[in-house]
Amino acid sequence: MECVFGMVGKGFALVVADSSAVNSILVHKSNEDKIMVLDSHKLMGASGEAGDRAQFTEYVQKNVALYQYRNGIPLTTKAAANFMRGELATALRKNPYMVNIVLAGYDKETGPSLYFIDYIATLHKVDKAAFGYGSYFALSMMDRHYHPDMTVDEAIKLADQCIEEIRSRLVVAPQNFIIKIVDQDGAREHSWRRTTKD
Amino acid sequence: MSIFEYNGSALVAMVGKNCFAIASDRRLGVQLQTIATDFQRIFKIHDKLFLGLSGLGSDAQTLHQRLVFRHKLYQLREERDMKPETFASLVSAMLYEKRFGPYFVQPVIAGLGEDDKPFICTMDSIGAKELAKDFVVAGTASESLYGACESMFKPDMDHEELFETISQALVSSIDRDCLSGWGGHVYIVTPTEVTERILKGRMD
């Protein structure tokens, strides 16, 4: 019952993910970090098959770094999103990665942006995105309360409302959530929302 | 559920007097869930050639990127734009290349050919071309679209009447299809200009 969601605010983008690593009925750990910091100004929240998630996110992170070393400038968020889509699309008919991604980034010229990339390599630039069973609650909550140019406090409050909804309405709700934010100062961890310590 | 119905789409192209119109819905869904209401299904290849891709969103994006690549190479080699008939043959060939592992798309091609004569065609997912003199449809709402277009279409409409007709046909058809909707995107192309309009229909 993994879930990842994200939204764009005024000058920043937020990604929230659950942090449970589950195998059938067993919770291996509940402090798994599923939001990878791709580079200084990009966040990649991923949900799906555990092995594919770890492999694919690391692969993308290293390739994004390689581009920067080779070319001296970092990839834009749009370029990184299209790179990911390309890799997923190429692998789709051979050995698909079962990973859904919410990519958040901040570019100096274009500001914050959020990209929805599902496991079949459908790419779309959005203001709010969510994956997993939690998406049924998170998207509806965001449809109701989201408006463009929210402040960080308003966005965190909305994220908390989404988490609250998931916790109360999803039958096997994840225990803990991690929130990461990216703005002009960079990508960083914002906070955790815990019900259990690990 | 069929893979063609995974994302939901509706596309229609119509011929008028020295002009053509191509229109699509704007919904991007994942089966029953709506992800976005501003998804682009119609792409400009050059000023007088438009391509609409219905079906699986991922394959539509892949095919669009490959076709833009092929067209840019053509432009470099031939030093001119591709004719719509040629482009249709290119799309057909590219789709048939994947005959036993196809792209899950149904393209709609609309353009102004030699002497600005309007050209429209559609094809199935393995490249079987269907040329038409009046209108072509594709997507999850195609059956409704066939009915709506057949009853509303008249030959030799000017661009304003064509816009009204294609808009009404699109909106009434997507209102009956749960997988497509959230407004419409209409392009009217005449030899001198391209007009792009967004339609507001039932937002559900």
Q: Which of B61, B69, B182 to mutate to test the interface with A (most CBs of A within 10 A)?
A: B61
CA nearest to B37 within chain A:
A126
Q: Report how many Cβ contacts below 8 Å link chain A to chain B.
A: 38
Q: Establish if B39 touches chain A: CB-CB under 8 angstroms.
A: yes
User: CB-based contact (8 Å) between B58 and chain A?
Assistant: yes
Tokens 């965001």 belong to residue: A142
Structure tokens at B77: 């080699």
Enter the ipTM. Answer: 0.92
Q: Does the beta carbon of B33 lie under 8 angstroms from any beta carbon of chain A? A: yes
pLDDT at A120: 96
pLDDT of the residue at A198: 62
Q: What is the pLDDT of residue A1?
A: 82
Which band of pLDDT confidence, cut at 50, 70 and 90, is reported for residue A135?
Answer: very high
Cβ pair B35:A124 closer than 8 A: yes
Distance from CA of B113 to the nearest CA of A (A): 32
pLDDT above 80: residue A140? yes
pLDDT of res. A196: 86
CB within 8 Å: B28 and A89:
no
pLDDT band at A92 (very low <50, low <70, confident <90, very high): very high
Closest CA to B95 of B141, B60, B138: B60
- Which residues lie across from A20 on neighbouring strands? none
Is A89–B58 a contact, with Cβ atoms under 8 angstroms apart?
Answer: yes
Nearest C-alpha neighbor of A17 from the set A37, A75, B51, A25? A37
- For residue A129, name the pLDDT band (cuts at 50, 70, 90): very high
Rg of chain B (C-alpha set): 16
CA distance B110 to chain A (A): 24
Provide block-wise average pLDDT over 10 residues at a time, chain B (204 residues): 93 96 96 94 96 96 97 97 96 97 97 95 96 96 95 95 96 94 95 95 88
Find the CB nearest A122 among B33, B57, B101. Answer: B57
Q: What are phi and psi of A72, to 5 degrees?
A: 80, -10
Which single residue is written with the structure tokens 């682009």?
Answer: B40
Q: Which of residues 60-119 of B touch A (CB under 8 A)?
A: 61-62, 101
Instruction: Find, in chain A, the residue whose alpha carbon is nearest to that of B32.
Output: A136
Give CA–CA dist A35/A46, Å, rounded.
6
Asked if the Cβ–Cβ distance from B62 to A89 is below 8 Å, we say yes
Residue of A nearest to B62 (CA): A89
Residue contact B58–A121, C-beta within 8 A: yes
- A135 and B33 within 8 Å at the Cβ level: the answer is yes
Candidates A114, A112, A85, A78; CA nearest to A99 is: A85
The model's pTM: 0.94
Residues A17-30, mean pLDDT to the nearest whole number: 92
CA distance B90 to B63: 11
The answer to whether the CB atoms of B35 and A123 lie below 8 A apart is no
Q: From the candidates A101, A124, A146, which should be mutated to test the interface with B, based on the most B CB atoms within 10 A? A: A124
